[in-house]
Structure 1
Amino acid sequence: MSLAAFPIDLHCHSLASDGSLAPSEVVARAAEKGVTTLALTDHDTTDGVSEAAEAARQSGVTLLPGIELSCQWRRRTVHIVGLGFDPADADWQEALAGQLANRWKRARQIAERLTPLRVESLLEKATEQAGGRVPGRPHFARVLVHEGVVKDMNQAFQRHLGNGKRGDVKACWPELATVVDWIRAAGGKAVVAHPRKYGLTATKLRELLDDFQAAGGEAMEVLTSGQSDGDLGFLADLCRKRLLLASCGSDFHHPGRPWCELGRLPGRPPKDLAMVWDYLG
C-alpha cells in the first residue's frame, strides 16, 4: 500500500521507551516531515514529554499528551493509546508508577532467562542501551548484536527474543477495563492501538471493541503502519457502526524504515469519520 503524507500523527515512540531517537529529535523529525500535530506515545511512560514539549514550542508543532499503555484482554496483551489526559493527575502518576514497576520486573526476568548466553552484566548493558530507562526486548537485542551473540537484530528476535522464545517474557499487565479507567479518570480519551496487529479475527476484534466500549473506551486507530489493503475500509466501518472516534498514527520507532515514518500513513481517513483530535479538551 502506498503511503500518504498526513499532518497529524498521534502514535510514535522515542528513547523514553523502545524508540531510537530522543524525544526532541522525534519532534524535529516530525516537523521536517510536515507534521503539525503530534502525540508522543511511549510505552507506559510520559518521561519524554517535557523534552518533547520544549522542542515542540521551538518548532511550532502542537504536542498532545500521549502514552501507549499495555494491558490484558482475555489473556492477550493489547495496547491502548491515551490522548489528552492530565499528566500531573496524582492517581494517573500512581498508575504509571505501577506500570514502571511491571516493566522493570519484566526486564529482570528477560535478563535471567538469557543467562545461558553468558553475556556479562546483560541487564546493565541493556539499560545503558535504553538511556538509563527500562530496557525492552529491542535493547536486549542490541546488546546481543554488540556482544557478537547474533549477527543482527532480526536474528536476535528469531533465536532468543521473539514470540515463544526464551526471552519472550509476558508481563503482568492490568486488565483492559482498568487501563481505560485510568485514562478517562485523568481526563483523556482511550484509543485501541493498531487493531489489526493482534492477529484477531473480525469476530474477536468486535468482541474486544465490545469490552473496550463497555469500559468507557471511545476511539480506535483506523490508520497505522503495516496495514493491509482493505483494513482502512473495515476499521472505518466499525467506527461508523459503533460511533467510535477515529485516530491515526505512524507508530514510528526508528529512522530508516520508510513504511513506518512520521507523518506517513497508508491512506487518509475518510472525511465522514469523527476524528479523536477534534474531541480532546
Structure 2
Amino acid sequence: MRADLHTHTRFSDGTQSPTELVAEASSVGLDVLGLTDHDTTAGWSEAAHAAAHHGIGLLRGMEVSCRWEGISVHILCYLHDPVGAEITAAIDQARDDRIVRSRLMVDRLAQDFAITWEDVLELAGADATIGRPHIADALVRSGVVADRTEAFGRLLSGSGPYYVALPVISPVEAIGMIHDAGGAAVFAHPLASARGRVVPDAGLREIIAAGLDGLEIEHRDNPPEGRARLRALADQHGLLTTGSSDYHGAGKPNRLGENMTARDQLAALVARTSGTEPIGLA
C-alpha cells in the first residue's frame, strides 16, 4: 500500500485545490492520501468527493501550529471530529491571529519593498489560512525574490527584521484537544533543523508524555542521521511512525509520494481514532 499522509492545498499554503491534489495522488499511484492543511479543515468536503470519484483512500486531518518554549512545533491531527471541538475553537482563533500577524508583517515589508496586503489576498484566495508562504508568493510576483526559499531565507525567517511572532497553543495542549475530539496526534518533521530550532530531547519526552501517538520520521527535512534516534524513541515509547511528502504542489520541491507510511502503521493510526471515519480504507 502506498500511503502519503501529509499534504497541503490552497486552503493553506499549497498551490492546488483538493480536487487537483487527489487527482494527482491517484495519477502517481497512491492508495491513501492524508490531507493536512494548516489549522483548517475547509478542504475536507471537496477532498472527500474527489477521493470517492478516484477510488483513493483519504485520511482527513490538519497540521496544528504550536510552540514549545519559543520553538515552532507542528502536530499532525488525523481523523478528529471538528464539530464543537475545543481544537476547532483553538484553530479558529489561530486563523484570526494569522491574519493579524500577516498584516503586520506586510506592513513592515511595505516600508522597504513593493508589496501590499491586497497582493497577498489575491494570491492566497478567500478561503486560505493566510501565512508567510502567501507573503513569500507576493514577494516573488513583485520581483523582490526569486522563490519562496529565498523569501524565507532573506526576509521572512524568525530572526528577520520583518518577522512577527504568532501566538499559538503548546503541543501538550494540542494533543489533549486532539484526543478529546477523537483524533490521533503525530509530531511532524521533529528534526527539521533547516526550519529553525528543534525541540530538544527533554521537550520531546514532555510531548510524548502528553499522549503523542506518533512521529513523522521519513520526511525530507529530518536529517538521515537523526532518524535512527527517532525510531529508537518510537520503539521505547510505543509510538507510531509515519512517512510523508509534506507536498505543497508548486510551492515547494517536495514530490508527492516521495515518502510513505507502512500499512501496519496506517492501520494502527486509524485504530487509535474515533472522531471521523477514513474514506476508502478496507
| Distance in 2 separating the partners of 1:157 and 1:47 | 26
Residue 149 in structure 1 maps to residue 144 in structure 2: yes
RMSD: 2.6
Residue 276 in structure 1 maps to residue 265 in structure 2: no
Deviations 1:45-86 (A, max 9, x none): 111111111111101111112110111111111111101211
Residue 213 in structure 1 maps to residue 208 in structure 2: yes
| Distance in 2 separating the partners of 1:257 and 1:101 | 25
SS of the residue aligned with 2:6? coil
Residue 73 in structure 1 maps to residue 68 in structure 2: yes
Unaligned runs of 5+ in 1: 1-5
User: What's the offset of the Cα at 1:268?
Assistant: 7.0
1:279 counterpart letter in structure 2: R
1:129 to 120, 123, 127: 123
**8 A contact 1:8–1:263 mirrored in 2:** yes
Matches within 5 A, 1:80-99: 80-99=75-94
SS of the residue aligned with 1:165? coil
Shift in alpha-carbon separation, 1:90–1:192, aligned structure 2, 3 A? closer
SS of the residue aligned with 1:196? coil
1:29 to 17, 24, 30: 24
Shift in alpha-carbon separation, 1:157–1:218, aligned structure 2, 3 A? closer
TM-score (norm 2): 0.86
**8 A contact 2:87–2:174 mirrored in 1:** no
1:187 to 171, 182, 203: 182
With a CA cutoff of 8 Å and minimum separation of 6, indicate the structure with the bigger relative contact order.
2
Equivalenced residue count is: 271
User: What's the offset of the Cα at 1:273?
Assistant: 10
**8 A contact 1:223–1:269 mirrored in 2:** no
Deviations 1:1-55 (A, max 9, x none): xxxxx61111111111111111111111111122111111111111111111111
Shift in alpha-carbon separation, 1:44–1:113, aligned structure 2, 3 A? same
Identical columns (%): 35
| Distance in 1 separating the partners of 2:252 and 2:117 | 27
1:136 counterpart letter in structure 2: G
Alignment match, 2:280: none
Shift in alpha-carbon separation, 1:52–1:269, aligned structure 2, 3 A? closer
| Distance in 1 separating the partners of 2:134 and 2:32 | 29
1:166 to 157, 161, 164: 161
| Distance in 2 separating the partners of 1:10 and 1:153 | 23
User: What's the offset of the Cα at 1:257?
Assistant: 5.8
Shift in alpha-carbon separation, 1:248–1:130, aligned structure 2, 3 A? same
| Distance in 2 separating the partners of 1:224 and 1:135 | 24
| Distance in 2 separating the partners of 1:24 and 1:192 | 26
Unaligned runs of 5+ in 2: 275-282
**8 A contact 1:114–1:166 mirrored in 2:** no
Alignment match, 1:46: 41
Alignment match, 2:106: 111
1:262 counterpart letter in structure 2: L
1:166 counterpart letter in structure 2: P
